[in-house]
Structure 1
């Protein structure tokens, strides 16, 4: 988004849409700066070098969404969906386990996380399915419902309740914003709650996380350690923070501070003022993108835009919610900030899909 050759994409866009572009670019730049500070203690500059590489890949995905013909995008969406669906299934017998979750497949030195990479394709396919629901054949509906059940089941078996909940939230919101009867939302809600309940019932570690979430100070030496260290980091930031690079908790106290708890490092170094700036920026990003999404005449592309916004925003709030103890501790990256190639690539494609839906219906025309 910051490369000079990509500036040609926004020529002629309405001012508000250009603001979204630059807000996103600023968000990405700030994320790089925070990542430098958060990762310097454990990895010198190796993390930032790899992050820059994946940002270039993410920019390629972003540019592809803006420039590729729509029939190509449909083909890419189909292929991306099915390849990552196969990847999700393969994580069950062949996945790499990190911190108790089997979410990754190893290809040489690269770890691929299908549950992260499938997000933009999930948004595309769900938006298509819901948009054309009333005219689709029963066999087609059944086929796609089964595929999505496989996605949720595979993610829950990793086990990864937080990501499954994010997918459920995406499905729920896209359906809510559609023209279909909202009675089906009750079924989606019940199915989501039952799935979550069963997952917690079968996975003891999720029960422990719920207990430590309610009272982390009672488990400070074991399962509550991460949350306690995060709360200490955020609280010690005060109003103005300790200053860039001066976080104490990142010095071997706060685990995986460059991914799952990068917001805690930011809060410690930038304080309440930094947090206010962060949320004000996010507020305007949501406000402007939502305004454009509501004016897209095509139900299909409007739902894609809503889904893209929801994917970025709900994961951002969930990451912050975990950091401040509002949600149970889980491993969710902060989009465009946390270290990780899968997250950067997925976010780049998702944001690219949003801009493409606007561009299709006149966002690139000044008059």
Structure 2
């Protein structure tokens, strides 16, 4: 591949390190789960290794692809029909896991369409904004953009009603950042989101707490929201994850108890290989290792932003900004849930957590960003 000599190692190397480390940690976090379920301790290890290898194939394909093919009207239309069709089908017949009907069973694997929709939103909205670039003005921004924004809002609502609050919030953040980058008045955005925040804090939280305490609410997602306020009051039910995450972080300290020696993964902490894998990393390998992983991820994000800033193409810049937002918000939501700073939303940690849909979506994003960076490097050398 000719583009390999223009590869951006500030993105590719951290991505490879994080993905390989993820395989190791998935094995450590899931060995007990596999045994308890009557299977093999290495079952999740094998699956995650396959996901990562397939992800590398996806990265190689996206790197070699002519990026303009992603802007082909037929390709975007087909991807859009698949995205909307999958989201509608999920509401009707999706498999429910952890209170959200967000998965399709395809043989031995489960597909989560909301993950792939993040990539679709990035490339579709970047293309829609770029085509309207000459019409966009701060004063009348809504005139050319109302239809793309409406379609994006429908996507977010379809994900939210699964209900997948984390996925909906990540897609909403991607849309917001890309719109702001296109010239949307940031003052209006601040007003809109301040109003939404005050509504949630001032009305939704108090009502949820009152109805839950009186026993009238049994919705899993709503109970998670309530458990966030005081997890120790719900330590045997919906607060179990957060309480045991605290225990894992406390056990690990600065340098950890040693790889494979986690106590919380042995039946105390639900989902130790997915949503709460960073709690296991911190328990086994300590705060220092967790910070190194976060630094590697931060390196990727900053490099993607830099690639977007350097690009002379509005489309390529917007793709980079959307991709960086995706990684940033997903990381913050996951760490916020693990640390008890945000409600648990079921969001995985990029590159480390177990899961095929997440791994492949991240591979699509990494491949496109590496493609854009390689084009820049080639133009610079030319």
Q: TM-score, normalised by structure 1?
A: 0.88
1:163 alignment partner in structure 2: 167
1:69 alignment partner in structure 2: 66
Query: Measured at CA, do residues 226 and 33 of structure 1 come closer, stay the same or move farther in structure 2, by a change above 3 Å?
Result: same
Q: 1:247 aligns with which of 262, 270, 291?
A: 262
> 2: distance between equivalents of 1:363 and 1:220?
55
Q: Say whether the 8 Å CA contact 1:91–1:105 is kept in structure 2.
A: yes
2:212 alignment partner in structure 1: none
Per-residue deviation, 1:325: 0.7
Per-residue deviation, 1:184: 5.1
Query: Measured at CA, do residues 121 and 136 of structure 1 come closer, stay the same or move farther in structure 2, by a change above 3 Å?
Result: farther
> 1: distance between equivalents of 2:143 and 2:329?
32
Query: Measured at CA, do residues 64 and 286 of structure 1 come closer, stay the same or move farther in structure 2, by a change above 3 Å?
Result: same
What does 1:210-221 align with in structure 2 at a 5 Å threshold? 210-221=225-236
1:295 alignment partner in structure 2: 310
1:235-291 superposed Cα distances (whole Å, 9 cap, x missing partner) = 110111011111111111110111111011000001121122223223333333322
> 2: distance between equivalents of 1:221 and 1:280?
34
> 2: distance between equivalents of 1:358 and 1:152?
29
More off after superposition, 225-234 vs 73-82: 73-82
1:93 alignment partner in structure 2: 92
Corresponding position: 1:189 with 2:193: yes
Per-residue deviation, 1:180: 4.2
The unaligned stretches of length 5 or more in structure 1 are 1-5
> 2: distance between equivalents of 1:294 and 1:188?
27
> 1: distance between equivalents of 2:143 and 2:374?
33
> 1: distance between equivalents of 2:198 and 2:130?
26
Q: Say whether the 8 Å CA contact 1:104–1:113 is kept in structure 2.
A: yes
What does 1:1-367 align with in structure 2 at a 5 Å threshold? 9-13=3-7, 17-43=8-34, 44-75=41-72, 76-135=75-134, 141-183=145-187, 185-186=189-190, 189=193, 204-362=219-377, 366=381
Q: Say whether the 8 Å CA contact 1:213–1:224 is kept in structure 2.
A: yes
> 2: distance between equivalents of 1:25 and 1:240?
23
Query: Measured at CA, do residues 316 and 287 of structure 1 come closer, stay the same or move farther in structure 2, by a change above 3 Å?
Result: same
Task: Tell me how many residue pairs correspond in the alignment.
Answer: 358
**Is the partner of 2:269 in helix, strand or coil?**
coil
Please report the RMSD computed on the Cα atoms of aligned residues, expressed in angstroms. 2.7
Q: Say whether the 8 Å CA contact 1:260–1:333 is kept in structure 2.
A: yes
More off after superposition, 246-255 vs 330-339: 330-339
Per-residue deviation, 1:229: 0.6
Per-residue deviation, 1:166: 0.8
> 2: distance between equivalents of 1:155 and 1:363?
39
> 1: distance between equivalents of 2:189 and 2:129?
12
Query: Measured at CA, do residues 206 and 36 of structure 1 come closer, stay the same or move farther in structure 2, by a change above 3 Å?
Result: closer
Per-residue deviation, 1:112: 1.7
1:3 alignment partner in structure 2: none
The unaligned stretches of length 5 or more in structure 2 are 35-40, 137-141, 209-216
Q: TM-score, normalised by structure 2?
A: 0.85
> 2: distance between equivalents of 1:195 and 1:11?
51
